[in-house]
Chains A and B, each alone.
Chain A
Amino acid sequence: MTVRGRLAARGIDGVTLLVLPAVALLVLLFVYPFLYGLFLSFRPKDGSLLGNYARFFGDPFFRDTVWVTMRLALPVTLLNLLLALPIALRVRHLRRQRLLITVLVLPITLGTVLVSEGMLNYFGPQGWFSRTLMLLGLIGAPVKLVQSYTGVFLSLLITGFPFTFLLTLSYVTGIDPALEQAGATLGAGPSRRFRHVLLPLLLPGLAITFCLSFVQAYSVLPSAVLVGDPSRTTRVISIAAYQAAFEEYDYAMASTVALIMGATQLAVVGMALGLRGLLYRGPAGGAKG
């Protein structure tokens, strides 16, 4: 058999060359910068190989950003999932779905900066929120909802929810409604239908939703600065990377921070996917069709 024949048998022929532009793009925009950053992170200013990593893990100013970011991203992601799931389960039966989805999705199109600006006005010390509560006599002094951990948390919740919700909804609607009906005719009430039928079929999708939402929340930058407390409680890891790159002009250190950010993020995602591997992952429909 000729070389060409053998390649063709494996599905490789002239048409396969069409993937080259995409591969080139990927290499140029992703693989090269990644490898260059990796290389750079081992070339710190002080000349030692692991100097940057030693500095990151030795200095609480850097080290703590991992914890600060986790402390924001993990609870926000979980809360978003917890909110999205029941709403999605409810929405799937509604006839006016499109209107509701449009309303829920609006925050995505607004962008983080606009939401943060709005929050500063609304939740700020002189904002309507505090003033209304004070007018009603519920609180004595304005509540501190922005320029704090709470501010970033709320902002991530508002901007992250639509994304989490839409993903969750797509998994929920992917489940054949006849399965729930079958559960009902077999004697399972709503809560047991959820536990024995819906949840096991949804969990793999929820794990993916968790990963994607978590990655979004973990790379938070604008709201951490705008409505957060960027020098202390919301000094997230991307702020550290930004400062290293554009305030200290230490690209090697910035690369190190970025790589550690990627690694910690990957660790959480890996854990979620590992747990997902233990679950049933087949189709959520009833029959072959």
Chain B
Amino acid sequence: MGAAPGPAFHALRLDGLQRDFGALNALKGLDLTIQRGEFIALLGPSGCGKSTALNCIAGLLPLTGGSIWLDERRIDTLRPEERGFGMVFQNYALFPHLTARRNIGFGLRMRGVPKPELERRVDAAIAMVRLESQSEKLPGQMSGGQQQRVAIARAVVVEPPLVLMDEPLSNLDAKLRIEMRQEIRRIHNQLGTTTIYVTHDQEEALSLADRIVVLRDGRIRQVGAPEELYARPAHLDVAEFMGYRTRLAARILARDGDVLTLDLGIGQLQGIEAAPIAGETATLALRPDDLQPVAEGTPHLRAQVEAVEFIGREFHGLARSARGDALHFRAAERPALGETLCLGADPRRVLAYPEMQP
């Protein structure tokens, strides 16, 4: 109480965060500096340590190594109630015995905010998440989306310096997810808060965040703006996570700057060196959007169509090469099943990575 940091700070610094569960190292030294007002997405597959990191920042899990700094103040030794961060939980964690209004007012009540001010701020928060007509309901009487709005309002009404969100949309259906995504970004902009958002959904991270932090096995793999991560993943596993679904083994025939000419046995392609490659072999990563039928003259791969789906405006297909590679591609017209296609791509969109990565 009272010791909670105010909303004004410049940077949150994570310094070598470590967390072990027995013999398992969930976090192996996480370093990251977050500027005030940023929207950061922690992205990674399940078990990569992203939720652990969030719980450590919130103070719900003690660190086994490293420290957390809010400007010059060390906060990892504080208990969660002393940190004053807002947190939105995956299952919302609304108090089932309190109405939406009382849930939202809980944090202000714990901070001893006088009643008139409390009522005014709660009203404003309810209006912000557009729940005016539902405010006297118990959580059990509300839909998932409404509960999520209450959870967000409850976390931000105390004007915390930092809002932590742990996969807040994973329990909602697809349509509501997109709606709430926009809502979350709107609230972040409106309040000027700093947000750390944990998700395993790359689309969510790309659309929400100012910066994405990709985690894998308790380590940071890449940090960057969404456009950057989308266009130039620094590692093969990040690429895979960013929707580069096609992976192909290739041999380097020639180099011209960072443009490589590659032989795949099923045809040739040009691509760029996305990460330094020492040897003669490489692994190519391609997004379905970038691989498409081309004329015979340009570099191409030959593969037989196995499956086609209409995704609106165009088609996505799966083709199989003679040596068994799966190629995900797009096409403007419906390809016939069993047809052999010549598939090619813009060399800037064919990313080559070292065959084996540490």
When the two chains form their complex, are residues A181 and B60 in contact, meaning their CB atoms are under 8 A apart?
yes
A283 to chain B, nearest CB (A): 6
Are A185 and B140 closer than 8 Å at their CB atoms?
Answer: no
* Chain B: interface residue total (CB-CB under 8 A): 35
Chain B residues within 8 Å of A197, by CB: 95
Chain B: CB-nearest residue to A182: B93
Let me know if A184 and B95 touch, CB within 8 A: no
Taken together as a complex, chains A and B put the C-alpha atoms of A286 and B90 apart, in Å, by 10
Which residues does chain B contribute within 8 Å of A120, judged by CB atoms? none
Q: Looking at the assembled complex, report how far the CB atom of B71 sits from the nearest CB atom of chain A, in whole angstroms.
A: 20
Given A188-B110, A192-B110, does the pair A181, B93 have CB atoms closer than 8 Å? yes
Give the shortest distance, in Å, between A200 (CB) and chain B (any CB): 5
Return A284 CB to nearest CB of chain B, in Å.
6
Contact pattern, B 134-149, Cβ under 8 Å of A = 1, otherwise 0: 0000111000100100
Known contacts A181-B60, A181-B93, A282-B97, A287 near B144 by CB under 8 Å: yes
Residues of B within 8 A of A288 (CB): 140, 144, 147
Q: A182 to nearest B CB, angstroms?
A: 4
Q: Whole-angstrom distance between the alpha carbons of A258 and B180 in the complex?
A: 62
Main secondary structure of the interface of B (DSSP, over half): loop
Q: Is B233 an interface residue (CB 8 A)?
A: no
Q: How many whole Å from A169's CB to the nearest CB in chain B? A: 20
B85 contacts chain A at the CB level, 8 A cutoff: yes
The answer to whether B97 and A280 have CB atoms under 8 Å apart is yes
**B4, B59, B96, B144: residue with the most chain A Cβ atoms closer than 10 Å:** B96
Which residues between 87 and 109 of chain B lie within 8 Å of chain A, taking CB atoms? 87, 89, 91-97, 106-107
Q: Which residues of B contact A118 (CB under 8 A)?
A: none
A137 at interface by CB-CB < 8 Å? no
| Residues of A close to B87: CB separation below 8 A | 181-182, 185
Smallest beta-carbon distance B297→chain A, Å: 57
- CB of A185 within 8 A of CB of B96, answer no
Check if A13 is an interface residue, CB within 8 A of chain B.
Answer: no
Whether A178 and B110, one on each chain, are in contact in the complex, defined by CB atoms closer than 8 angstroms, is: no
Distance between A277 CB and nearest chain B CB, rounded to angstroms: 14
Q: Contacts A200-B97, A286-B93; is A185 near B171 (CB within 8 Å)?
A: no
CB of B216 closer than 8 Å to a CB of A: no
Instruction: Give chain A's interface residue range (CB within 8 Å of chain B).
Output: 20 to 34
Partner of B91 from the list A176, A186, A187, A188 (CB cut-off 8 Å) is: A176
Instruction: Identify the closest chain B residue to A197 (Cβ).
Output: B95
Cα separation A188 to B84 with both chains bound (whole Å): 10
Residues in chain B near residue A179, CB distance under 8 A: 93, 95-96
Task: State whether the Cβ of B1 lies closer than 8 Å to any Cβ in chain A.
Answer: yes
With contacts defined as CB atoms under 8 Å apart, how many contacts are there between chain A and chain B in the complex? 99
Tell me the A169-213 residues at the B interface (CB within 8 Å): 176, 178-179, 181-189, 192, 196-197, 200-201
> Contact flags (1/0) for A269-289 with B, using CB distance below 8 Å?
000000000001011111111
A201 and B138 alpha carbons, distance in the complex (Å): 13
What residue of chain B has the Cβ atom nearest to residue A284's Cβ? B96
- Residues of B contacting A185 in the complex (Cβ-Cβ under 8 angstroms): 58-60, 80-81, 83, 85-87, 155, 164
Cα distance A192–B109 in the bound complex, in angstroms:
11
Chain B 35-70 residues near chain A, CB threshold 8 A: 58-60
Whole-angstrom distance between the Cβ of A207 and the nearest chain B Cβ: 14
Cross-chain contact of A186 among B139, B158, B171 (Cβ < 8 A): B158
State the Cβ distance, A229 to closest chain B Cβ, in Å: 45
Tell me the bound Cα distance from A284 to B89 in angstroms: 16
14 further A-B contacts with Cβ under 8 Å, apart from A186-B158, A196-B95, A288-B144, are A176-B93, A181-B93, A182-B93, A182-B154, A183-B95, A184-B59, A185-B58, A185-B87, A187-B84, A189-B81, A197-B95, A280-B138, A282-B97, A286-B91
Sampled A-B contacts (20; CB under 8 Å): A176-B91, A176-B93, A178-B91, A182-B87, A182-B94, A182-B95, A185-B81, A186-B81, A186-B106, A187-B110, A187-B111, A189-B81, A192-B110, A196-B106, A283-B96, A283-B140, A285-B91, A285-B96, A287-B94, A287-B171
Chain A residues with CB under 8 Å of chain B are 176, 178-179, 181-189, 192, 196-197, 200-201, 280, 282-289
